[in-house]
């Protein structure tokens, strides 16, 4: 149970939060992104509210030797804002703005008997796989160039 | 047209999401980034938490949404996009979140909470591009399915 517990508890809370705040509804998300139309502020409330416990959790983690059910904290230490990060965020933003799904809400809405989230999630995994191939081929090119 | 959502529902939902992110960090020591966890489950990512942990999260995520929908709030999920658009958007989101090391949860909720410069830059970027995309699609192209 030990490896499963964090995932189960956290997944239930996370999915519950996405449903309660209607973030599982792509039309709601698009309403937030449509600043020139009939703007829907919901996502801003959700994000602001989510940041409070998230920041408290981070603050508490800094005072702990190790996580309660794990061996070490793995918090990204990289602080560099590099072109790759911004390009990735931009590509993600375009996809997000096209249909209103991002990974959390898309996966959270898989159980409602609709085909659309399944299509989106399958395409998302294919996109991740494409990135994997792209990354591997970049590494091979660099190696063969001897740098 | 969508009914406006009560800010109380939005705030309560946000608090749940943030609490989930905090708990994942305190229990397992990892960042609750959904794109990274999904990539771990599909064995596309090498880093990330143990597979069972990521898999239990990805299974519990829709269960949590179903439980809340059956008890607290009945959702009215409206997906207006066509199949080709859903697939194009999915490909972009999948590729972009891997190249950009995260999505709305990992950068937006977890990274911004610890004031990570990378996450603040990434969140600002995907928000701006999301807004720009909706503007172009809805207001310049007249909307497409």
* A chain contacts of residue B91, beta-carbon cutoff 8 Å: 95, 123-124, 126-127, 130
pLDDT tens digits, one per residue of A31-69: 999 999 999 999 999 999 999 999 999 999 999 999 999
Distance CA B59, CA B10 (A): 23
Whether A127 and B96 lie within 8 Å, measured CB to CB: yes
Contact B85, A99 (CB under 8 A): yes
Task: Take residue B98 and report the two structure tokens written for it.
Answer: 């891997």
Whether B139 and A109 lie within 8 Å, measured CB to CB: no
Is the torsion defined by CA of B44, B50, B55, B61 positive or negative? Answer: negative
pLDDT value of position B55: 96
Task: Take residue B108 and report the two structure tokens written for it.
Answer: 């937006």
The stretch B103-122 carries a mean pLDDT of: 97
Instruction: Tell me which H or E stretch contains A2.
Output: none
* B chain contacts of residue A16, beta-carbon cutoff 8 Å: 13, 16, 64-65, 67-68
Distance from CA of B41 to the nearest CA of A (A): 10
Q: Is the pTM of this model over 0.90?
A: yes
pLDDT category of residue A141 using cuts at 50, 70 and 90: confident
pLDDT tens digits, one per residue of A10-22: 999 999 999 999 9
Contact B144, A97 (CB under 8 A): no
Position A147 pLDDT exceeds 70: no
Task: Tell me the average pLDDT of chain B.
Answer: 95
């Amino acid at each position: 149970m030990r490896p499963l517990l964090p995932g189960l508890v956290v997944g239930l809370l996370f999915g519950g939060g996405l449903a309660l705040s209607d973030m599982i509804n792509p039309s709601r998300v698009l309403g937030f992104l449509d600043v020139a139309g009939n703007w829907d502020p919901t996502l801003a409330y959700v994000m602001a509210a989510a940041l409070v416990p998230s920041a408290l959790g981070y603050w508490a983690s800094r005072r702990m030797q190790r996580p309660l059910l794990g061996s070490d904290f793995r918090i990204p230490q990289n602080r560099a804002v590099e072109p790759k990060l911004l390009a990735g965020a931009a590509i993600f933003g375009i996809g997000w703005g096209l249909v209103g799904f991002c990974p959390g809400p898309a996966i959270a809405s898989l159980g409602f008997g609709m085909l659309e989230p399944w299509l989106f999630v399958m395409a998302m995994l294919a996109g991740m796989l494409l990135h994997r191939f792209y990354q591997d081929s970049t590494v091979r090119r660099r190696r063969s160039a001897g740098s | 047209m969508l009914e406006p959502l009560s800010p109380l529902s939005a705030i309560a939902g946000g608090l749940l999401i943030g609490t989930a992110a905090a708990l994942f960090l305190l229990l397992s020591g990892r960042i609750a980034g959904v794109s990274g966890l999904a990539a771990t489950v599909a064995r596309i990512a090498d880093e990330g938490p143990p597979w069972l942990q990521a898999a239990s999260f990805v299974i519990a995520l829709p269960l949590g949404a179903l439980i809340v929908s059956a008890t607290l709030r009945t959702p009215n999920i409206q997906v207006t996009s066509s199949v080709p658009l859903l697939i194009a958007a999915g490909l972009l989101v999948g590729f972009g979140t891997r190249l950009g090391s995260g999505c709305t949860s990992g950068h937006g909720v977890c990274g911004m909470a610890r004031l990570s410069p990378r996450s603040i830059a990434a969140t600002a970027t995907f928000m701006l591009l999301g807004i720009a995309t909706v503007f172009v699609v809805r207001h310049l192209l007249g909307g497409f399915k």
